[in-house]
Structure 1
């Protein structure tokens, strides 16, 4: 798995960043029951609707991990799994996994297998996927030489297993072509998320253009003037579009505050007695348990670590460091660590109030119809992420929305 863990986490497990994919998303806490008692069939229908009002041909891809075998590959429109062939030390073209999508105003229904992966969709051109010895090379459009740089595309991430379906609308890497996701429950009701407010697409880009400090440079356009995407700030730092020290002032103030006071982290909502106490000493924030023993330590993070929730804020899938780190990551991105010494702060009323904050995440949340987004990897802290789940899903939905 790539060390760049900027992909959306579904229940804490990240997709590898846009590089070699050796593993994809799985779900913590959604263990597979005995197959004989599993309620979820081998495949479920996914209705893919194009309400974009755009005339370009849409292409759809279902890529990921076959959960029964751990193999990487793709699924066709019938939900049949096809493993990727071997790659090369010089990446070679992957098989064409594109499903022809619907014209605007129309829908298609395909089958989703028990996968952990992504539904990509592109407008006007097929995406370029290649295979290296380490696995599938996925788009990394923060790299100006990426072959997908000038293609308008986006993706949803999902896990379907014997415990149900988790499907999200993600902005962890970029804000691009608008879409919403949904799941039909056994009683026939549909839970949806990811939909922008009326005018929200233009509103987001207008707001980002108006934010001083380099944030407007996150927006990528094509030579014909088409707005393609806004990079997430971590990718913006990587691409040289956003200053590398954009969060430093806030980080420094947090470090100063907790050199003389204590930051208390209660990482599990269902275990309020589990608390860790953080104090800064020199360049290290040490966390102790209730017995006073140091359980983990963090060096002073940089802006990239904050935005990516990795490097100096690495979050392993354990029961101590990972939960503390994800709480810190949320507090830094939302700028709540100075105003509340008891974390996580789960009330959105106090989010993004500092002048130094993740303005990208702030602005996309402000434009969502339900206020939910995956503006950074651990936006699920406090359940502010654009994710829907059902343990007995009858159908999934992805709807391409207008660019208004």
Structure 2
């Protein structure tokens, strides 16, 4: 188990504006009264499964910064003090709808996650540092054999952002939605017919260790596919799985300039990358070096962290996000101008993020959060609105 949320969680997008996949601070903040303290979340169970569903709304209360959970009425409850070793968290579960039914709860102004599980409650613990999240890449995690998933969301005075995420794993399918202030409804996250099994079949058919991402129960029931980052960390994927592509990129840009234009609304803001001494240095239009990157390893690429760390600033972060997307989508060799935002160009190299390729290929609208900065070029499975009337979480069939 681990503390904290995924390496790239939705709250970042809720405090910034998504412009061409890059984050820029300072979006207009409407009056607090524009968004009520809670909004309804309609949960519909179209899974076709007979298992009891349990729902959890966990996160950080934005008005106070306290961590805790919300009950079905949207009332906030702070976590009690934890311990070392971790102590059991209070039961924050909400009984979800039966198959073919819907249930509406209320969600407060949170930055957090909505978990759901089938057939068994999740095991949450508290340390002295806060909530311990499930970490099913660990075989001894108590949630390892539970079928579950989660959505990330932020509800604040500027509106609602809610996504379907596969950054950590691909598992029980679901879609999210929002009813906008004009009454229209936007949704994302639905798979194509047969898409759930299609993702697992694609990974199993891919040589090089990708099949090892698929986790099953002892009885053979498929539970999830781990992200390739966890595949590398647990040894299921070789640490060198992306090395060939990274080496080719580094070779190319030793003699060619990589031009990064990270902000779609600022076409004159460009950075220029060249490899020298095994380091890619980026200069601005005045020729000054603004940031540098050592050659990333596979884990840094898959996680968009470590050697591809992306602080929430206006220079290194936007460049790193662009590089991360280019490496995962294998577009850095086909175009020296990045980001490449044309999905027809993605995942064409033999060495690529096969997990992200498989997930995107099975999404009904092609959108997914299959790696941390899949929002570069607006490829993410995210809906948002400044005046949300209602949110939706739809549990889809496992087929």
2:91 is the counterpart of 1:90 = no
Q: How far is 1:84 from its partner?
A: 0.5
Task: Give, in whole Å, the separation in 1 of the partners of 2:231 and 2:193.
Answer: 27
Q: Which residue of 1 aligns with 2:18?
A: none
Q: Which residue of 2 aligns with 1:78?
A: 73
The 5 A counterparts of 1:213-362 are: 213-362=208-357
Q: How far is 1:29 from its partner?
A: 4.6
Q: Which residue of 1 aligns with 2:20?
A: none
Give CA-to-partner distance per residue, 1:165-209, whole Å, 9 cap, x none: 000000000000000000001222110000000111111111111
The 5 A counterparts of 1:157-168 are: 157-168=152-163
Q: Is the 8 A contact 1:8 1:376 kept in 2?
A: no
Task: Give, in whole Å, the separation in 2 of the partners of 1:248 and 1:3.
Answer: 29
Task: Give, in whole Å, the separation in 2 of the partners of 1:33 and 1:168.
Answer: 22
Q: Which residue of 2 aligns with 1:126?
A: 121
Task: Give, in whole Å, the separation in 2 of the partners of 1:217 and 1:232.
Answer: 11
Task: Give, in whole Å, the separation in 1 of the partners of 2:10 and 2:309.
Answer: 13
Q: Is the 8 A contact 2:10 2:154 kept in 1?
A: no
- Structure 1: which 5+ residue stretches go unaligned? 15-25
Query: SS state of the match for residue 217, structure 1?
Result: helix
- Structure 2: which 5+ residue stretches go unaligned? 16-22
Task: Give, in whole Å, the separation in 1 of the partners of 2:380 and 2:262.
Answer: 17
RMSD: 1.8
Query: SS state of the match for residue 196, structure 2?
Result: helix
Q: Which residue of 2 aligns with 1:373?
A: 368
The 5 A counterparts of 1:37-48 are: 38-48=33-43
Q: Is the 8 A contact 1:168 1:387 kept in 2?
A: yes
Q: How far is 1:373 from its partner?
A: 0.4
2:133 is the counterpart of 1:138 = yes
Query: SS state of the match for residue 73, structure 1?
Result: strand
Task: Give, in whole Å, the separation in 2 of the partners of 1:28 and 1:141.
Answer: 34
Q: 1:5 to 1:324 in 2, by over 3 A?
A: farther
Task: Give, in whole Å, the separation in 1 of the partners of 2:108 and 2:5.
Answer: 27
Give CA-to-partner distance per residue, 1:129-187, whole Å, 9 cap, x none: 11111111000111111110010000000000111100000000000000000000122
Q: How far is 1:301 from its partner?
A: 0.3
Q: Which residue of 2 aligns with 1:382?
A: 377
Task: Give, in whole Å, the separation in 1 of the partners of 2:139 and 2:326.
Answer: 31
Task: Give, in whole Å, the separation in 2 of the partners of 1:32 and 1:389.
Answer: 15
Task: Give, in whole Å, the separation in 1 of the partners of 2:343 and 2:376.
Answer: 11
Determine which of 179, 188, 194 is the counterpart of 1:184.
179
Q: 1:100 to 1:202 in 2, by over 3 A?
A: same
Q: Which residue of 2 aligns with 1:147?
A: 142
Q: Is the 8 A contact 2:360 2:367 kept in 1?
A: yes
Query: SS state of the match for residue 302, structure 2?
Result: helix
Q: 1:61 to 1:30 in 2, by over 3 A?
A: farther
Q: Is the 8 A contact 2:4 2:132 kept in 1?
A: no
Task: Give, in whole Å, the separation in 2 of the partners of 1:243 and 1:3.
Answer: 26
- After TM superposition, the runs of 4+ consecutive aligned structure 1 residues lying more than 2 A away are 1-14, 26-35
Q: Which residue of 2 aligns with 1:199?
A: 194
Q: How far is 1:13 from its partner?
A: 8.0
Q: How far is 1:4 from its partner?
A: 9.3
Q: 1:250 to 1:9 in 2, by over 3 A?
A: farther
Task: Give, in whole Å, the separation in 1 of the partners of 2:12 and 2:126.
Answer: 27
Query: SS state of the match for residue 396, structure 1?
Result: strand
Task: Give, in whole Å, the separation in 2 of the partners of 1:94 and 1:391.
Answer: 33
Q: TM-score scaled by structure 1? A: 0.94
Q: Is the 8 A contact 1:7 1:173 kept in 2?
A: no
